[in-house]
Structures are given as C-alpha cells and as structure tokens.
Structure 1
C-alpha cells in the first residue's frame, strides 16, 4: 500500500491530515506503510495528479475521498465530517475509507 498527502503550502490542514492518516493506518494494522507528503507549488503540478484540493489523501494513487472532479487550483479542500465541514477528514472517516480500500 502507498499513502500520499498532496498539499499546498498555504493550507494548514495537511499537517493534521497526515497525523490522522498515520493514526488511522496504525489502528488498522498498517504501521509499516510510509506516508509521502507532496507539496504542489504550481497549477501545472496540480494538474498532473489526482488533486481535489489541499489536502488530498491518496492510497495507491487514488483519492481516498473521491469528488466530482479534479482541480488545478491551488486551494484548500473541505471535507464533510460528523461535526460539519472541516479541512480534513476525521480519523474514523480515514479508518473507514482505508478499510474499504483493502
């Protein structure tokens, strides 16, 4: 399994998204899976990957929370969580999405 967080510098949520992803991977028995963090610095870089806004969490190259479309806009992403809109999914949402991916 490959885990990656695509992000932009201006979006603060990618740090916490990475921490939550690490905790979720660990909790479902994937402690050995490293997480790669990829900074997207231009619209051209964003257009080359499945970017849905920052942070986008990929597992094996696929968005763990697919949306209607990709974007090359260097913008923050919003996730629908049980507590309302947030800049990252909850650890539980990550665990559920990862389990569905297995």
Structure 2
C-alpha cells in the first residue's frame, strides 16, 4: 500500500501550526500509511512552489483539501469555518479524519477541536470581532494577509 503524503506548511512562528500539528497527531493515531512532513515558508515564491494557501496549509498528496477553487498561493493567515460555523485557525480532528480517510472514533477533548492557539487578543480577537461577518462555507479556508 503506498504511503499517503501529508505536509504541513506554515509561516515562521504561526500560532496555529502547533494546533494543526496536535490535531493531526490525534487524527492519525494508529495510521502507519502516512508520511508527515513540515515546512516553514516565509516568501511568496516558496509559498507558490509548495502550494501554500496561508498558514497553516495542509497538503494531502500535494493537494490542499481546504483551499477554495482557484485560490492563489500566499504567505498569509489561513482560517477556516468549521461545521459549527465558527472560524478557527485549523480544522477540527473530525474534519481532518474525514479528509484523511481515518475512521472517526469519538471526540478528542473540546469536541475534537484540540486546543486553541495560545494568543492574547491577536487572532482570537480578530476571530470574535471580524470573522463572523465573512460568509465562508463550512470546510473552506479564508486567507488573511499578514503584515510584514
């Protein structure tokens, strides 16, 4: 059986990188058919070469299952709207299991959401104050440009 290639692509110090890493670990428990790699990207040409649509980007066999059709590569913040309508910095464990073809065996704390990004104000404040006004379908990602 060929290995599934799963890549996590982040910008330096992305607060949602550890969140996605933790949720991937939970979603992949018991899987021996997955090769997981991580890449840190800080410039647009590298983002385009790697297929990064914001940080963190998840690539499954080279494809971003959460990117909107025709989305351009970018060094930006990658937010997604979960099935419950809330904006988060990474897909839930259940969403990852679905995308990775891992059987769902029950929640993993916080209803499968893992932990929240450890930020004071910052992204959490943006999520609460601004993001609910965006109409992003469940399971799709929203890229927000980062300031240099």
Secondary structure of 1:48 counterpart: helix
Cα RMSD over matched residues? 1.8
- Count of paired positions: 97
Larger radius of gyration between Structure 1 and Structure 2: 2
TM-score (norm 2): 0.60
Extract structure 1 runs of 4+ deviating beyond 6 A: none
TM-score (norm 1): 0.84
Cα 1:83–1:46 shift into 2, 3 Å: same
Q: How is 1:26-41 mapped onto 2 (pairs within 5 angstroms)?
A: 26=29, 29-31=30-32, 33-41=34-42
Greater relative CO, 1 or 2 (CA 8 Å, sep 6+): 1
State the shift of 1:98 in Å: 1.1
Aligned equivalents of 2:78, 2:27: Cα separation in 1: 20
Secondary structure of 1:97 counterpart: helix
State the shift of 1:57 in Å: 0.5
Secondary structure of 1:78 counterpart: strand
List runs of 5+ in structure 2 lacking aligned partners: 103-148
- Residue range with higher mean Cα deviation, 40-49 or 85-94: 40-49
1:7 matched residue in structure 2? 10
